[in-house]
Structure 1
């Protein structure tokens, strides 16, 4: 029972924190609180924050927060684009923390540690300037990021089309090879066989004519 109460309290605290964050985002992007659809004076984020009594279920508070976020997305294009980007590629919004290992105890003496720090001191200024230059790099426009994400489907379709064209080109090469083989058999080898046959027939005619001439000379 105590574990259930602790879990419920943790969920309520999380929802309260989310409501406060949503209120700050709403103020930063819109500049004025968005009113709840059923009223004209209660901001959506505050409406969600007021549902914090234990008589209200966690599901109701979560639904109120989702409604407030949807309302904010309908009034703010950056929020709308970010939600679309989150729906398309949710993994880019996940924090991946590297696994850290505790440093070994007693591996270096104090003098050795000081030597390492002093040897790297010359790189501090260059690294700091690089970090400053990275900070000055402008963040890409949200519209550009959304357009790049939308191009993913077109690139996938183009990849499939390229594979189909590759298979068609392979089939055309195979058929062209067969046509070339047939042409060689008919046009080259066939002509050679025809010439060989004609040459044999001409030689036969020459032998017959020579024999006739020899017989005529013998009779005379």
Structure 2
């Protein structure tokens, strides 16, 4: 009976020591500092050590909003942080008989030599020389400069294309549409002048007859 009680005491002390170690890790993660009280705590009675654990936990909960939220979630939804119960293992299905297993192995047997030869051929593929990769790496700054210059040229071409389109539109408005309007106006004037000349000639012809 004494051995059982002694074993229980050892289990309790080990559990308490693990809880204190976890508490120190939490304090280090949240505060970045660990108080050197391990040796003193191990000499304290169990009840006092439990009280210190509760005080430390309360201090962490009140000083960290994250832990307070976790504790609140755990109090409201306790089933979220508890591991689910293991599902019952399904009953074992009867395996294939030996003839069926042999037939399956023989059906897939030709694939093994083919796969092995493919894997062996991978070892025969030569590795490309490193000089080409080194030259490409050396050319990277020049390639980047050419790409920047190409982008600059593309922007200039787009700007010139826009200006050209605006000039063509302006030329059309001034020289084509404007000249067309001038021709229409001149044609109207000529028609009016022709009508006036016709009227004058008609009047003069009438006066000559009289």
* Bucket of the pairwise TM-score, normalised by the shorter protein: 0.3 to 0.5
Superposition TM-score, scaled by structure 1 size: 0.45
Larger radius of gyration: 2
Superposition TM-score, scaled by structure 2 size: 0.47
Greater relative contact order, per chain length (Cα 8 Å cut-off, separation 6+): 1
